[in-house]
Amino acid sequence: MRVGLLLCDDVRPELQPEHSNYPEMFEALLKRQSEDIELVTYRVLDEELPATTAECDYWLISGSRHGVNDGYSWIGLLEDFVRRLYAEQRKLVGICFGHQVMATALGGTVVKSGKGWGVGLSKNAITQQKHWMQPTPPWSEQQFRLLVSHQDQVATLPDSAEVVAGSDFCPFYMVQYGEHFLSIQGHPEFSKPYAVALMNCRRESIGEDIIQQGVDSLAEDPDSDLICHWIVRFFQQTP
């Protein structure tokens, strides 16, 4: 299985010795599901995009410190590639920034949320039980937990979108488009130590009270491997 990672950011240089870079995070996450997964990275933030949509079996868009409305030329190029993937019914999963750029590429909108920063561990209720969502979460409530770090949120959805999971803080947290596109606001590739390090780097922007709430939320563990398992099942499902 060849997965193309459309890379939209790098881990801050001072954090890489301890936490590595995003391609390594995604590779470690995916390899826990299958050693047969080969991750191929395209540095979209440097305007490096695939020549064709067929270079990989499946596609994955990373998060980013940048926002989809920032006006960088590479974001427009990525939106064009997303629309090509959608037209050709190629499988694509977007994470955080990837979740948001999929929405804008297909006609939705993204704004800086009036609710402020989402950091730490988020809890999200499943609103539609899709067949690729197996196994189900191992507790009675139909919800899952995932690490987050974002200010922007999807505000309006494209016509083709179905909300799969959400919360009061982020109603459009997990979205599916047809049988080929899936996007998630949270970060299954993050570890709890990296989430803390990122909060500390953004301390001035986030604020002490929100950071403390985020750190306190880490008493529980994220369902990162479960969500990655769902992603792999989504890739492999037959429409």
Residue 137 has pLDDT above 80, yes or no: no
Would you state the pLDDT for residue 191?
Answer: 98
Which residue type occupies 238?
T
Residue 239 has pLDDT above 70, yes or no: no
What residues contact 125, with CB distance under 8 A and at least 6 apart?
Answer: 141, 142, 143, 165, 166, 167
Which tens digit of pLDDT belongs to each residue from 65-87?
Answer: 999 999 999 999 999 999 999 99
Residue 238 has pLDDT above 80, yes or no: no
Across the range 24-53, mean pLDDT stands at 97
Would you state the pLDDT for residue 136?
Answer: 77
Residue 193 has pLDDT above 70, yes or no: yes
Q: How many residues does the chain have?
A: 239
Percent of the chain with pLDDT over 90: 95
What residue ranges do the domains of the chain occupy? 2-236
Which tens digit of pLDDT belongs to each residue from 87-126?
Answer: 999 999 999 999 999 999 999 999 999 999 999 999 999 9
Across the beta sheet with 161-166, what order do the strands follow? 38-43, 2-7, 58-61, 92-95, 181-184, 174-177, 161-166, 118-126, 143-150
Across the range 140-147, mean pLDDT stands at 85
Give domain 2-236's CATH superfamily: Class I glutamine amidotransferase (GATase) domain (3.40.50.880)
Question: Would you call 140 exposed, middle or buried from its count of C-beta atoms within 10 A (0-12, 13-18, 19+)?
Answer: exposed
Would you state the pLDDT for residue 138?
Answer: 62
Min mean pLDDT across 131-145, 150-164, 190-204 is at: 131-145
Residue 157 has pLDDT above 90, yes or no: yes
Residue 140 has pLDDT above 60, yes or no: no
> Checking DSSP bridges between strand 109-112 and strand 92-95, what pairing results, if any?
unpaired
**How would residue 141 be classed by pLDDT, with cut points 50, 70 and 90?**
low
Residue 139 has pLDDT above 70, yes or no: no
